[in-house]
Amino acid sequence: MATQPVPPALAGRHRVPADEFWRDWTAAEVAAKLADVPILTWLGRHRLGTATGVETVLVDDLVVSAGTSGGTTG
């Protein structure tokens, strides 16, 4: 996934290399889920590359992001 082309609709808005895009996109997806808002809502409030509290690593060709809400689960 890390080397997949960026979809044209997103490439026009977020002009960064594919490897940076996917890192930032997966981090934004995690941040949106933690905030309990749709990704498009999160992107309306923030920019790609600004997610905080999210760790992103490359595992082979996969971009993996994880974060915590600081709350409890159960």
Q: pLDDT by residue (tens digit) across 13-53?
A: 878 888 788 999 999 999 999 999 999 999 999 988 888 88
The pLDDT of residue 33:
93
Given a cut of 60, is residue 70 above it in pLDDT? no
Dihedral of the alpha carbons of 63, 23, 31, 11, in degrees to the nearest 10: -120
Given a cut of 60, is residue 74 above it in pLDDT? no
Query: Which residue blocks in the chain are alpha helix, DSSP H?
Result: 8-11, 18-35, 39-45
Given a cut of 90, is residue 71 above it in pLDDT? no
Residue ranges of domains in the chain: 1-50
